[in-house]
Amino acid sequence: MRISLVHPAGSNWVPGKKDITATANRMAPLGLLSIAAYLEREGHTVHVHDCLGPRAVAEVKENARLILGTHPELVGFSATTSGFLDGWEMAAAIKAESPDVRTVFGGVHVSALGKTLLEDFPHIDYLVPGEGEATLAELAAGADPARIDGLIWKNGEKAAVNPPRTPLPDLDALPFPAYEKLPGFPRGYNLPLFSYIRFPGATMITSRGCPYQCSYCDRSVFKRGYRYNSPAYIYDHMKHLRTRFGVRHVNIYDDLFTANRPRIAELCGLLTANPLGVQFNCAVRVGYTDRELLRMLREAGCLMVSLGIESADPEMLQRHKAGVTLEEVRQTVEMIRAEGLRAKGLFMMGLPGETEESIRRTSDFVLSLGLDDMNMSKFTPFPGAPLWMTIREEGSFEEDWRQMNCLNFVFLPRGIASRERLDRLYNEHVKRFYTDPAWRRRFRDRLWQHRHSLWHMARHLPDFIAARRHFEPDRT
C-alpha cells in the first residue's frame, strides 16, 4: 500500500505572528519516523510530510496537494492538541479531491479524547490511540477493522472502539526511525540554540512510558509502564546517525533516561570503549542519579543534563510533582556541575495554585542554582493529564486547541489577576535569568563553542528581532 504520514504544524507561537519556533528548534517527528520504518519493513511504500520541516509550506490546500502528489491510498496524521485542527483541515482538503483516500489520526490528542473525535470531525476514517506501529500495519495490510486491536473506526454511523492493543514487548525489535525520509535532514533540523557544540544534531528516544504521574503530564500514548531499548541498540542507533547522516550531537528526550542504572552504565561503557565522536544531552529525575553515574555520562560524551524542577514553591511541588524536594534539586544540580556537566533546569509557570509570590520564589531559586540554561514553559492543560477533569474549577480556561502548545497561556490561575499580568511576569522572569551577570559570564566564556548557534541566529536575525519585540512589548 502507498501511505503518506503527515506531521501537522499547528500554531506554535503567537496568534497572527510568524511562527519562529522551528527557526530556534526544529525537531524530527520521531513517532512518525518510527511508524514509517515499521511500515516499510512490512512491505509498504511510505512518504513522510513534515509541515514543520525546513522546506514546509504554510497553506492547507498546498500541503494537501503535495500529499496527494505521492498518490497515497492511506494518509496518517500524528497530531498534538495544537496541531489536530490543521491535520483535520488537511484531511478535509484531501477528501475533497480524492474521496477514496482513507484517513487515520493518531498521537497524543487522539489517545486522550478517543472516539469523540471520530464522531465530531468528518473526513476522518480511523483513529489509532496509543502505540501506532502494529495497529497501522494491520490496517495497511487490509485486515478487517473489527479485528484490529487498538483501532477506533466507523461502523456505519457509529464509532466502534476495539480492545486496546498490547504494547510492543521488545523495543529493540523496532527498526531505527526513517530519518532519511525527511528532506533536508539533518542540517535542516536544529537543536535548541546553545544546547550543543558539535553540528549537525539529531534527536532520539530510547524508552516509552513513565511510572510517575505528574499532575500536568499526559500519559495517554504510552501509559505508565516503562519499556526501554538495550544499551547495544542505543549504541547502534547513535552509530547509525553518525555514519549515515554525519550527526555529531544527539538530544535524548527520554523522561527517565537514567531510571535503569545498569542500562546507562553499560551504554556509557560502550561509548567510552568505542567512541563515536558524538556528544549528547539527556535528562535525569531527582533520585535517579549520583556522582559516579554523572561521571560515566561525561566520559561517554554527555554535555548537558536537564532536570525537571517545575516550581520552587514547596506546596506547588507537592501537588504537581510529588516526591521531589527543593533540597534534592539543589544537591542534584551541584552534583551535575561538580562532575563537569552543564545543568539545565526545566520549569513551568501558571500551574493551578500559582501566585505572584510562588513565581517570585521560583525566580529567586532559579538564579540561586547557577544553572547553565533554563526552560520555562507556559502551563497548558491537556486532555489526558490528571488536572484536566478539574481544571475549570482552578481558574479560567480558554480551550483553544490551536493555542494549547505550552507557548501561550490559555489557563489563568485564580491567584493571578489577568493573562496580561501572567505574561508580564513570565517575560520578567525569563529576562531576569538571561541578564543575570553570573550567567552572562558563563555564557561569554563559552561563546566560541557556540559559533554555529550564533551563525544560525545571524542568518535568521529579522525573525529573532521580531520575536524579541513581542517578548518586550514596551521596548522602544
| pLDDT at residue 16 tops 70 | no
Residues 6+ apart with CB under 8 A from 173: none
Q: What are the two backbone dihedrals, phi and then psi, of residue 151, each rounded to the nearest 5 degrees?
A: -110, 140
CB-based burial label for 427 (10 Å; 0-12, 13-18, 19+)? middle
For domain 191-445, the CATH class is: alpha beta
Reported confidence tier of residue 476, pLDDT bands at 50, 70, 90 = very low
CB burial readout 387-425, b (16+ within 10 A) else e:
bbeebeebbebeeebbbbbbbbbbbbbebbeebeebbeb
150: alpha, beta or left? (left if phi > 0; alpha if psi -120 to 50): left
Cell of 315: 506546596
Q: So what's the pLDDT on residue 218?
A: 83
| pLDDT at residue 473 tops 70 | no
- Give the pLDDT confidence of 258-274 residue by residue, as tens digits: 989 999 999 999 999 99
- The per-residue pLDDT of the chain, averaged, comes to 93
Place of cell 511510572: 211
Q: Are 52 and 7 a contacting pair, CB within 8 Å? A: yes
For residue 105, list its beta bridge partners.
77, 127
Q: So what's the pLDDT on residue 35?
A: 98
pTM: 0.94
In the chain, what percentage of residues exceed pLDDT 90? Answer: 83
**Structural domain 2-161, CATH architecture:** 3-Layer(aba) Sandwich (3.40)
CB burial readout 340-376, b (16+ within 10 A) else e:
ebbbbbebbbbbbbbeeebbebbbebbbebebbbbeb
Q: Are 176 and 240 a contacting pair, CB within 8 Å? A: yes
What are the boundaries of each domain within the chain?
A: 2-161, 191-445
- Give the pLDDT confidence of 273-326 residue by residue, as tens digits: 999 999 999 999 888 889 999 999 999 999 999 999 999 999 999 999 888 899
- CA 257 – CA 251 distance, rounded (Å): 11
- CA 28 – CA 200 distance, rounded (Å): 13
Label the pairing between strands 227-228 and 249-252.
Answer: unpaired
